[in-house]
Amino acid sequence: MSLLQSITTEYDDVEDRIKLVGKFRNGDLIVMWITQRLFSRLLPVLLDRLQAATGNLQQVGQVGSVVQEFAQQAARAQMKPQPPLKPESGAQAWLVKSIDVAATPNGLRLTFKSGDSGRAVLKLEGQFLRQWLNILYDINRKAGWPLSQWPDWVRESARAVPKRVVKH
C-alpha cells in the first residue's frame, strides 16, 4: 500500500482538472489528476461520511444544517497555510480512473487508482476530512463547476470565514 503522508490539492485551469500532488513516506512525489466527472461521484460519498459522523442530524433539518455549518467553519478557521508540494518534471503522474472509498473508525481511506498499476492511499481522518472538503469546495468555485451538489452548510461556511489561500 502506498500511503500518502501529505498532499497539495489545486485546480489546473489548462487541464480543467483537480491536481493532487502527494508525498510518500520515502519523500517521492506523485501527481494525480482528477476529472470533474470523477470528482462529482466522490463528493456525495465525502458528504455522506460527514453526515454519518455527526449522527442523524439530517433528520432534524435546520438544526443539523447549522451544526454542520459550524463544524465546517471551525475546520476552515483551523487550516494553517503550508508550502505546496512542488513535483519535479520527471515525477510520476497519472489520471485517476477510479477511487475506492473505505470507512475507517475516524474517517475515510481513499485509494486512488490509475488504469494500470498506479495506486496511492489517502487517509482522511478527523478535521482533515472537513478541511479537504473546504479546499475542494474552493477549487470547485474557482473552476466554475456546478455547485448544485454542495449542501448549503458548506456554501455558508465558506462565506463566514475570511479568505486565505491554503493548499493541503
- Dihedral of the CA atoms 67, 72, 73, 75 (nearest 10)? 130
**Contact assessment for residue 127 and residue 47, using Cβ atoms and an 8 Å cutoff:** no
d(CA 96, CA 142): 21
- Other beta carbons within 10 angstroms of residue 48's beta carbon come to 12
Quick one: cell of 49?
461520511
Predicted structure pTM score: 0.82
Quick one: cell of 146?
456546478
Give the residue from 45, 162, 30 showing the smallest Cα distance to 99.
45
pLDDT of 66? 63
pLDDT of 56? 47
d(CA 142, CA 133): 14
pLDDT of 57? 45
d(CA 51, CA 126): 13
Q: What is the chain's pLDDT, residue by residue, as a tens digit (168 residues)?
A: 599 999 999 999 999 999 999 999 999 999 999 999 999 999 999 988 877 766 544 445 555 566 665 566 565 666 777 888 999 888 899 999 999 999 988 889 999 999 888 899 999 988 888 889 989 999 999 999 999 999 887 787 677 555 554 555
**Contact assessment for residue 105 and residue 99, using Cβ atoms and an 8 Å cutoff:** no
d(CA 66, CA 30): 37
